[in-house]
A and B are shown apart, each in its own frame.
Chain A
Amino acid sequence: MRRAHFKFSWIAAALLAPQLLIVFVFFYWPSAQALYWAFTLEQPWGGGNTWVGFDNFRKVLSDPYYWSSVRVSVIYALATTVLAIGMALTLAIFVDRQLAGYRAYRVAVIWPYAVAAPAVGLAFQFVFNPGAGIFSYINAVAPGWWDLSQNPWQAIAAIVVAGAWKQVAYSFVFFLAALQSIPRSLTEAAAMDGARPLRRMIDLQLPLLTPTFFFLLVINITDSFTDSFGIVDTLTGGGPFRATDLLVYKIYADGFRGFDYSGAAAQSIILMLLVMALTFVQFRYIERRVHYT
């Protein structure tokens, strides 16, 4: 590929400036600030920060609440990913096979991705409301059976469903593209070889989707760590009894409600390292993606 080389010019600088400014203000500056806080402690009565080394990290990692947050986050990540990928794959296979009405839901299925997380949370607040909507009917039969604010597992289920609903769209688009890039003659060859649709799916389509599958796995897990704040905040507020206190939510709660900037900053750094590791895996994987030709 040919690359254009530009000499330094004020026009180039001016064109780059807005983007650089945004990256600087919303990424490098806060990251630097977080790093600073993570290794320091604010003096109780003011007077600046003192260097404390890894103390903040030690404190975080020995906090049982932190580990319960890790546990919930992992459950949330795995559950949303499995649910989202499963649903996306199912829908993509339906659309690919052009079952009745596929045109309508091909478009409909993509919409949720455009909805911001807090809005998703709000929408599901209505869906999961014990006093209104679907669950009020169940509660009418078995009073008090469904209550997000009381039952931890129901709260987790609620954020998982809301999170997965939001993720489905993205995975769906990728699965559909991958399915449609499988040459039709391959499917036909398998049909001539005697394989029925289900068999063709297992022997042909799913193996050919493996690269896409791994790509989406990493993307979904990363997303569930970082993009879940809005859902938790609007739907459960981290409760009940910290049951839905995901890592990203706990950072917010500790930092801005508990005013423990240093602890929150240390958690941020840990989460950032985790996401970087996942991103690294993803890039490595995309680079060496299996290509069949």
Chain B
Amino acid sequence: MAEISIRKVSKTFGKTTVLGGVDLDIFNGEFVVILGPSGCGKSTLLRLIAGLEEISAGEIAIAGVVVNALEPRERGCAMVFQNYALYPHMTVAQNIGYALKVAGVARAERQARVEATAKSVGLTEYLDRKPGQLSGGQRQRVAMARAIIREPRVFLFDEPLSNLDAKLRVQMRHEIRRIHNRIGATSVFVTHDQHEGMTLADRLVVMNKGSIEQVGTPAEVHDRPASVYVAGFIGSPAMNFLPGQISLVRRGVLLENGTLIPLAQMPVLEDGHLVQLGIRPEHARLTPRGRGVIEAQVDMIEDLGAQRLCNLMFEDMPFCVLIEARPPLPAGTPVGLDIPAEHIHLFDAASERRIEIALPLPVAAPAEALTG
């Protein structure tokens, strides 16, 4: 049974609909990351689960109990806020222990648990300080400790790392995942950062404009994006798209300028069906002029250190290729591009949904085999 079950949940503020009929099941002990650009309704969804906003329509159940009418305190969730929301007039110890104090836990037990929790996140020396005297990373830890001490069924995180610098962010990311593994509670983590999403999640939920685009493991979402939106959002640098139409006779996608990109297998579509062909920068290959399927021109090359990012122009569309070598390619150089059929993604031009090519995909090991 799902730990959190979200059924056709909508949320409107006045006349604006922020969430339109979201369906999602989150399982016990899972680490789910809700990923999407700013303003797509991630926080709103999280706050609906927490009980900080009222559900406009639909139903949310936690551990089998419908919680629509329950107060936040009755839902068994703990939340870590983006700005930490520490009580500024209380010491670290009081902050961490506040939930227990409210719950009426005896002072001695409270103190013992505060100390144990503080130790687990490395805050022992700071227990008597006020939040104002802590660094960003330490405040983050206090916020974590405040959530952990309650031993909640569900952890809710609303972009908890976005106020930290890059290095600390990676460090805290690992720590959050370690804590999750140790405690075994269900975690729902909201972020707009795809790296955070990919690295933390058991399952990713990709959101766009108030609805869910795709739910899947990070690998599934990356390898088989369900829509143009997901394909463009996940992966860095972003996937290239080329508009064209299916040519059954020539067994490929006919681009607007008449170039044919061959497909390994044909999807079940009529001739001339309009599609978007997607190819990731790391899968397209640069070839000498005239040797690829496409002819393009170098616009500029960015050196990322380990790799080079070749920004090309194909017709007047930008096209990006990631390469290992450091070729001397000045701007304007004509080059060829190879587009390996096994890496092509096809999307319906009208609905922007993925079109499955009946193709033996490069076999990925099933997730169970790795995680046991």
Contacts and interface: CB of A to CB of B under 8 A. Distances in A.
Given A193-B98, A193-B99, A186 B73 contact: no
A204 interface: yes
A156 B88 CA distance: 41
Interface in B124-164: 130, 132, 146, 150
B77 A208 contact: no
A62 interface: no
Interface string A192-209: 111110010001100110
Contacts of A199: 102
Given A194-B73, A208-B88, A292-B89, A189 B102 contact: no
B73 A204 contact: no
A189 B89 contact: no
Given A194-B99, A292-B89, 18 more contacts: A183-B83, A185-B81, A186-B87, A186-B88, A189-B146, A191-B52, A191-B71, A192-B50, A192-B78, A193-B146, A193-B150, A194-B73, A195-B102, A203-B87, A203-B102, A207-B89, A292-B132, A293-B88
A185 B98 contact: no
Contacts of A192: 50, 52, 72-73, 77-79
Contacts of A63: none
Given A194-B99, A194-B102, A292-B132, A189 B77 contact: no
Size category, A interface: 10 to 19
Nearest 3 Cβ contacts at the A-B interface: A292-B88, A185-B85, A193-B99
A193 B85 CA distance: 12
Contacts of B98: 190, 193, 195, 203
Interface of A: 183, 185-186, 188-196, 199, 203-204, 207-208, 292-293
Interface in B97-120: 98-99, 102-103
Size category, B interface: 20 to 34
Contacts of B79: 188-189, 192
21 contacts: A185-B81, A185-B83, A185-B85, A188-B72, A189-B79, A189-B81, A189-B85, A189-B146, A191-B71, A191-B73, A192-B50, A192-B52, A192-B73, A192-B78, A193-B73, A193-B150, A194-B73, A194-B99, A195-B73, A195-B98, A293-B132
Contacts of B132: 292-293
A192 B46 CA distance: 13
Interface string B15-27: 0000000000000
A55 B52 CA distance: 69
A266 to B, nearest CB: 45
Given A199-B102, A203-B98, A191 B85 contact: no
Contact of B85 (A186, A194, A207, A293): A186
Interface in B61-82: 71-73, 77-79, 81-82
B103 A208 contact: no
B85 A183 contact: yes
Contacts of A193: 73, 98-99, 102, 146, 150
B89 A191 contact: no
A11 B89 CA distance: 50
A207 B91 CA distance: 13
A204 B95 CA distance: 11
Contacts of B72: 188, 191-192
Nearest to B143: A189
A48 to B, nearest CB: 61
B150 to A, nearest CB: 8
A188 B51 CA distance: 10
A196 B71 CA distance: 9
Contacts of A293: 88, 132
Interface in B198-213: none
B87 A190 contact: yes
A196 B132 CA distance: 25
A199 B99 CA distance: 12
Contacts of A183: 83, 85
Contact of A188 (B52, B86, B88): B52
A208 B89 CA distance: 7
A203 B87 CA distance: 10
A226 B221 CA distance: 72
A229 B99 CA distance: 51
A193 B75 CA distance: 11
